[in-house]
Structure 1
Amino acid sequence: MTLHKLPAHVADAFAHQAAACRDLGSPLTATVCALVAEHGLPDSETRRRIATWPGLETSRGDVVPLRFTGALHRLVLDGAEPALAAAYPPHALDTDALHAAMIGAVGSHDGFIADYLGSAPQTNEVARAAHLLPALLAVAAPMALPIRMMELGASAGLLQNFEKFRYDYGRHFWGDPASPVTL
């Protein structure tokens, strides 16, 4: 299958996302994004949709690279693309096998992937805790009682660890100064 490079600004957005994923410890997603940045995609509705996405100057904004990787992951979770699943963890990362499987998935599931790009990814970012903490402190202050956090779903339990983060609001700080996570 012939691959077509993406416009430079789109390839740059995928390369930027690859670097961010590598820095954050997501080697699979980093590799998928790097492969798209370097080699492009087959002629497809998916490629046309990504290549013409409005405002795609970086990986930020609509996070199109993560939408694409999310579509591939959905195919793996649904059991719809066995070759791609064989290239995903827990199997060892084989870049050539992953690239071939990814291209095959675009060829076999182009309509699904192109449609999936319309959905924003759920990223489970702990940064949400930075907005949650002031509200919890405001509620807890007049009661002088501890707050118990019970989270269902959206952040995969990450917000249940909000007291382990360091918060920097400019003039106000809260939390563990030794925390490796500063919000």
Structure 2
Amino acid sequence: MTLRAALLQQARSCAALGSPFMEMLMTALAEDWPDDSALGRLCAGWKGDVGPGGASLPLRIAGGLHALVLTGRAPDLAAVYPSATAPDPIFRATVLEALATHEAFLIDWMQRAPQTNEVRRSAALIPAAHLLAARHPLPFVLSELGASGGLNLMFDRFALTAGTTRLGPPDAALTLTPQWQGAAPAQSALRVDERRGVDLNPLDLRDPAQALRLAAYLWPDQPERVALTRAAIAVQDAEVDKGDAADWLERRLATDRPGQLHLIYHTVAWQYFPPLAQARGTALIEAAGARATAETPLAWLGMENDGGEGAALSLRLWPGDLRLSLGRIDFHGRWVKWNAPNLP
């Protein structure tokens, strides 16, 4: 895939995810991209898939530009961010000037993959946890794979409006309000005894530089995402370890946890693990599931792309290796189609 094709594909994705500004920016970059520049040559020589399913160069470029705005490095660019109008000549010229003036910054920025921590994905985690707690009224141990900054490790401190039902604590740090289809599970008592995650490059949101990387990948015309992220950061106190997910998971599963429900989960992360890591992770979880008892239940929850609308929500639960489809959710958690059965 060429960079221009990748930019146009990303433009379509941004439009579908409710960001007209990002659609406009991606389209303008596709039409005006400076091939004859150091930045252009870097992208032209990039190894592998440069599109949204690979290295995501369009998002890296957009994230770098947004970082320039957030840090005040490019005041002229900030003056046209965000704009929901068609890309007029002033906007195009300002973006091109930023690409040229801040080329060294952008080249350095693009060496690291995009990282997001979409808090609205907890709209899948919250009802799933309540469903599990109704069957197993035990404290939870949480293990998140691909946890980024660990914001979705705090889902029990968030509230969810699911149709006419509210799930979550009365003093919730934030409230998620997706478009909801289907009946919500009954609210159960949730208690988390331990929460921990793993990521190849975890974000320490106490570090301003790393917090900037998270903020830069929030799209400029979606202030709700910014507000929710800030609210989640304010209560984030979970540890996210740096490392390989399978190695980390092997250590996490080596100890049985009597009287606790161990919930392993990932949201749009499993697909990025190499096939061998996926196979090893599956084997580790299944082996631990085979040892599970009513006193040491194990659950594996996935929110992943399966080629359908949004992401599929799948749950495996031991003992018994129950396999359930819980429904579907928008990649950014804007809607949920919940069709989970009652657990036997």
> Does 2:319 correspond to 1:174?
no
Distance 1:180-1:133 versus aligned 2 partners, 3 A rule:
closer
The structure where helix makes up a greater share of residues is 1
The structure where strand makes up a greater share of residues is 2
Cα deviation, residue 131, structure 1: 7.3
Q: How does 1:1-183 map to 2 (within 5 A)?
A: 9-41=2-34, 43-56=36-49, 58-89=51-82, 93=85, 95-96=87-88, 97-125=90-118, 126=120, 141-143=135-137, 154-155=150-151, 160=158, 164=162, 168-169=313-314, 172-174=324-326, 180-182=335-337
Contact 1:42/1:107, CA 8 A, preserved across alignment: no
Distance 1:78-1:130 versus aligned 2 partners, 3 A rule:
same
Q: Deviations over 1:114-162 (max 9, x none)?
A: 110112222334557767876776567432579xxxxxx6558995467
CA distance in 2, matches of 1:99, 1:158: 40
Contact 1:14/1:33, CA 8 A, preserved across alignment: yes
Cα deviation, residue 93, structure 1: 3.7
Distance 1:130-1:103 versus aligned 2 partners, 3 A rule:
same
Percent identical across equivalent pairs?
A: 33
Distance 1:15-1:92 versus aligned 2 partners, 3 A rule:
closer
TM-score when scaled to structure 2?
0.41
Cα deviation, residue 163, structure 1: 7.6
Contact 2:123/2:336, CA 8 A, preserved across alignment: no
Unpaired runs of at least 5, structure 1: 1-7, 147-152
Cα deviation, residue 48, structure 1: 1.2
- Secondary structure at the residue paired with 1:70? helix
Task: Compare CA radii of gyration and give the structure with the larger one.
Answer: 2
Contact 1:42/1:103, CA 8 A, preserved across alignment: no
TM-score when scaled to structure 1?
0.71
Distance 1:135-1:158 versus aligned 2 partners, 3 A rule:
closer
